[in-house]
Amino acid sequence: MTRATVRPIGSELSGLSHAAPGRNAPFLIDGERSRVVGIETRPHFTAEIDGLAVASVEAPGLGSAANILLFPGLLRRDFVGAAGITVETLLAAPTLPLVVAQWSSAGGIGPITLRVPAVRGQQPVIDQANQRLSLRYGAYTIGISVSPAPAYFTHAVEVDGDIRVDFATDDAEHSSLVVSAGSPAEVDAAIVAAAHAPAHALRAASGPTEGLLLRTGVAEIDEGYRWLRSRLAGQISRMIEAPSDRGLLSLGLAAIGTADRTSAEALLSSLAAPAGLGVSTEAEIVYGLLAARHASTFGDRSFARRAARAWANRVPHAHELTSLAGTMLADALHHDAPPDRIAMLRASSSEGDGDSRPAVGGERRLPMAGAGRHRSGRADWVAGLLRGEPVIPRLARSSVDEAHIASAALRSDPDSGWATWRRLLAGRNADAAAMTWDPVGADGSRTAELLLAVCCGLLGLEPDAASGRLRIAPRLPRHLESFGAEGLPIGAGSVSIDYRLDRQVRRFTLTPDAGAIPPLVIFEPSVPGSVSSVRIDGESADLELRRLGAWTVVPVQLPVDATRIIEVES
């Protein structure tokens, strides 16, 4: 038997998983540049790379999939057919333009047919050598490789211009198909990297390991949240490939709020390109708003400067979010742009019924505060969200609107808000978690809104990187005895929060995760009932407590230069 050049992906995978019987329902697995789509029970899938469908694969002899095991970037299916049981593993590599399909069966694999769609007006230069086929369209190449050496591996150009590839293995228990696309160098590197498929699979299955993560100890919550993070990155990747205003604002805000800086900056860069910024008023205004939020979160004002220059050259038309975006940009660039540009931004914001009063007497407004007196419902919602104080929206027609309600309820009634958020996280059907498939629809992205409910509703985050300040205003449901979140972003660093309930004492621990300059944290936890005492690092503290309905707000301001412990006794 010829030894396989692509190592088999074993069964020891661990990570975010969803196991269920196969259904006549779509599936999607995401990588940064690659993805695989299909129907769970059908022995067919399509590999997409950089937004293009590069290969459609059909294996009719496998039968029908009885069970599936789904990870964010990997799918394993058990097929039952005339030849017995075949295990199929599909991998969308996390960072490479690479899709790997593996089949394992005691009786060999095949026949399998692969079709590469015709590229209109272009005829490829075809080169087949042993187990590899290259299709070159100028500087763009599609590479296909099969290992170990198949019983046959043939190609043909069909009447419609599609390239058909047929192959089978008669004597191997394990067979791998590798599909890559991009520049010739990228294809060569990806096919070589495919030899390490198990390592790529482990990474694809684990989900995000950086940014804002939850550590509650409840797998359903922690893993569900990471599923949302994985799906968000995929949604942003797809939006960049096929620009649309649908869900643009919530996707960008969720990426920034959860500290997925890579996705946020990729989205902003795509909007700033000539084919992005200026396509529509909506995209232009949203770009300014996202650029300002990015600056206040990470301290990088390059996108905000670019947005301000665009507004100077072409003042945006009246739009429901113009006032908020202009004010946010002015605040973000307060110490970084010429006074006339700041004045221009505030003037443009006044056209949207905002308060364009310049700062006086050394006053500096917190970013995201906004100042509109007569904003539309959408502007009020976004302004409240970015203050970490979302208010109840007027409408509730879809799961996205329900996520809005959960965000607001986490401020006004944390117990009901938490219950709503967890219900939406689990999905409506017991056998299919919502995070496994959540396309961006006309009303936006439920994935993004559920993530915003965490960072803006549950945690009440409001960053001000220019001043090195981060407001954290957690409002946790009464029944929670422990809760943790790490990677709360501020400038170049981040902090973690840990919560423990021990009888009548609520202990909050703030820890610096990273960053050379300690942030000043404005910590405003809300606790149910009355408060009898507060201790900070073991010392009694006399604070100006605020009653808010049945809750008490405990305002604390302190630099998080080391572990800080706030104990609230009620």
The string of DSSP letters for 108-140 reads -EEEEEEEEPPPTT--PEEEEETTEEEEEETTE
Are 561 and 501 in contact, with CB atoms under 8 Å apart? no
Are 509 and 559 in contact by the 8 Å Cβ rule? The answer is no
432 pLDDT above the threshold of 60 = no
What's the CATH code, domain 457-569?
A: 2.60.40.1180
The yes-or-no verdict on residue 257 having pLDDT over 90 is: yes
Q: Which of 124-128, 352-356, 495-499 has the highest mean pLDDT?
A: 495-499
The pLDDT value recorded for residue 359 is 38
- pTM of the predicted model, to two decimals? 0.89
- Comparing 367 with 52, the larger pLDDT belongs to 52
Closest C-alpha to 227, from 432, 481, 11, 474: 432
Q: Is residue 435 very low, low, confident or very high in pLDDT (cuts 50, 70, 90)?
A: low
- Determine the Cα–Cα distance for residues 379 and 319; give it in Å rounded to an integer: 10
**Helices (H), ranges, 314-398:** 322-332, 339-350, 377-386
Rg from Cα positions in the chain: 26
* Helix, strand, coil shares, percent, the chain, to 5: 30, 30, 35
What pLDDT was estimated at residue 162?
92
The per-residue pLDDT for 4 is: 53
> For the ranges 176-185, 369-378, 424-433, which has the lowest average pLDDT?
369-378
- What is the CATH code for 18-206? 2.70.98.50
3-class SS at 93?
A: coil
Distance CA 494, CA 511 (A): 9
Q: For the segment 134-154, what is each residue's pLDDT rounded down to a tens digit?
A: 999 989 999 999 988 888 899
Task: Assign 402 a pLDDT band (cuts: 50, 70, 90).
Answer: confident
What is the distance between the terminal CA atoms of the chain, rounded to a whole angstrom?
72
Residue 191, Cβ neighbours under 10 Å: how many?
Answer: 22
Q: Are 66 and 56 in contact (CB under 8 A)?
A: no
Report the C-alpha gap between 489 and 519 in whole angstroms. Answer: 10
* Alpha helical stretches, state H, 125-218: 184-193, 197-206
Q: Name the residue with higher pLDDT: 3 or 169.
A: 169
Mean pLDDT along residues 193-217: 92
> Residue 351, exposed/middle/buried by CB under 10 A (0-12, 13-18, 19+)?
middle
- Please state, in angstroms and rounded to a whole number, the distance separating the CA atoms of residues 38 and 41: 9
d(CA 180, CA 167): 17
Determine the 3-state secondary structure of 458 from DSSP. Answer: helix
The domain limits of the chain are 18-206, 213-449, 457-569
Per-residue tokens: 216: 């509650």
DSSP string, 386-410: HTT-----S---SHHHHHHHHHHHH
Under 8 Å between Cβ of 68 and 75: yes
Q: Where are the beta strands (DSSP E) in 491-563?
A: 493-502, 505-514, 520-523, 526-528, 533-536, 539-540, 546-548, 551-553, 556-559
Using DSSP's 3-state secondary structure scheme, residue 536 falls into: strand
Tell me the pLDDT tens digit for each residue of 314-354: 666 677 888 899 899 988 898 777 787 788 888 776 654 44
Q: What are phi and psi of 240, to 5 degrees?
A: -65, -40
Average pLDDT over residues 116-128: 87
Average pLDDT, the chain: 86
Mean pLDDT, residues 274-284 taken together: 63
